[in-house]
Amino acid sequence: MVVFVDSLVKSWFAVKKNWKILPIIAVLDLLFFLLLGILSSMFRNAAGPYLTSIVSQSGKLTADVSLALSQHKSGLLVLFSDSIFTTNIKSFIFVAALASIALYVIWAMVQGSAWSFASKIANKNNKDYLSSFSKTSLFWLISILLYFVLLTLFSLITQIRLTPLIPSALIRFFGAAILLILLYFAFISVSLTPMKLKQNLKKTFSSGIKNIFTFVVAYALIFLVLLLNFQITYFLFKSFISGTSFVSYFFIILRMLIALPFLAWARVYLIETAKN
């Protein structure tokens, strides 16, 4: 609890003292969300037809899969023996791989700069920051992508049966829990930057486990602050936010702009917590 309060006080005074840096971080966040939106739209347009074909072909192969399962054979083998299914899977994986590379570049360059400025606010050593941030981010991006691949395969194996081994709701629950654990450690790891990757990961897991209460409280506080901010701005502007008019979009963007300084503070607060 002492660390929690100390980090909170330090982050507040650090942000107050270096408030002139906040607009720079805000611009970087805006740029990141803009690029992320463009990338998301491009990915949907490129991958959408392949996903549609995969779902459609899976439906056509339902009878063959059921027959294979009744004969105690692999249902997955039936799917991956179909040329249309495998061609679309390969195309989807290719598009997803390109999108992941683009996401990593955007994150490393834009968010790396934002976290670097937040680190300066926290008066932390910034030597080789972007290089360290890029390596740390790459590790966690690969970990999260691997998680999604394994979760998808596990879901297919357990669900493509006459009687599913595990209820889909249970898979979703444990899948969400594992993702939250990954994100929990990932943001601690980023907060410890700059540091050599091996040293960073060692300290991330040791600190994350040993000080789990402190970090959980810190995450909860950040979530509550951001939630309260959005609730207040929604209450103030709700009469203007309706439909698809210019005024509606203006106030939606305004709500986001008001939230940006709190996002900058959240970084500083996590960095101070990790330092302590």
Residues 236-251: what's their mean pLDDT? 68
- Are 107 and 31 spatial neighbours (Cβ–Cβ below 8 Å)? no
Q: Quick one: average pLDDT of 130-137?
A: 93
pLDDT above 80 for 61: no
- pLDDT average, residue stretch 173-189: 93
Q: How far apart are CA 167 and CA 174, in angstroms?
A: 11
Instruction: Return d(Cα 273, Cα 7) in angstroms, integer.
Output: 5
Closest CA to 34 of 110, 125, 127, 133: 110
List, in order, residues 6 or more apart from 28 with CB less than 8 Å away.
110, 111, 113, 114, 117
Separation between Cα atoms, residue 7 and residue 274, nearest integer Å: 9
Q: Tell me the average pLDDT across 119-139.
A: 88
**Residue 274, pLDDT score:** 86
Q: Contact, 25 vs 264, CB < 8 A? A: yes
In the predicted structure, residue 75 carries a pLDDT above the cut 70: no
**Model pLDDT, residue 68:** 67
Q: DSSP string of 27-83?
A: HHHHHHHHHHHHHHHHHHHHHHHHHHHHHHHHHHTHHHHHHHHHTT--HHHHHHT-H
CB atoms within 10 A of CB 148: 12
Separation of alpha carbons 24 and 22, rounded Å: 5
Tokens of 189: 């790891």
Q: What is the mean pLDDT of the chain?
A: 84
Q: How confident is the model at residue 180 (pLDDT cuts 50, 70, 90)?
A: very high
The alpha carbon dihedral of 155, 161, 165, 169 has a sign of positive
* Phi, psi (deg, nearest 5) at residue 125: -60, 125
Query: What integer pLDDT is reported at residue 88 of this predicted model?
Result: 84
Decide: 169 and 159 in contact? Cβ < 8 Å.
Answer: no
**Confidence bin at 71 (pLDDT 50/70/90):** low
pLDDT over 90 for what percent of the chain?
Answer: 36
| Separation of first and last alpha carbons in the chain | 12
Q: Which residues contact 134 (CB under 8 A, 6 or more apart)?
A: 108, 112
- The structure tokens 């059921």 sit at 66
Average pLDDT over residues 11-30: 87
Sign of the Cα pseudo-torsion (197, 268, 233, 235, in order):
positive
Contact between residue 216 and residue 274 where contact means Cβ atoms under 8 Å apart: no
Per-residue pLDDT at 165: 65
Taking residues 259-268, report their average pLDDT.
Answer: 88
Checking if the pLDDT of 103 tops 90, the result is yes
Q: Categorize the per-residue pLDDT at 187 as very low, low, confident or very high, splitting at 50, 70 and 90.
A: very high
Confidence at residue 1, expressed as pLDDT on a 0 to 100 scale: 58
Mean pLDDT within 6-15: 79
Mean pLDDT of 149-176: 75
pLDDT greater than 60 at residue 99:
yes
Most confident of 126-130, 158-162, 165-169: 126-130
User: What pLDDT is stored for residue 10 in this prediction?
Assistant: 82
**Higher local confidence (pLDDT), 248 or 37:** 37
Residue 206: per-residue pLDDT = 93
Give the CA distances from residue 52 to residues 48, 94, 97, 138, in Å, rounded to whole numbers and listed in that order. Answer: 6, 16, 18, 30
What pLDDT sits at residue 18?
84
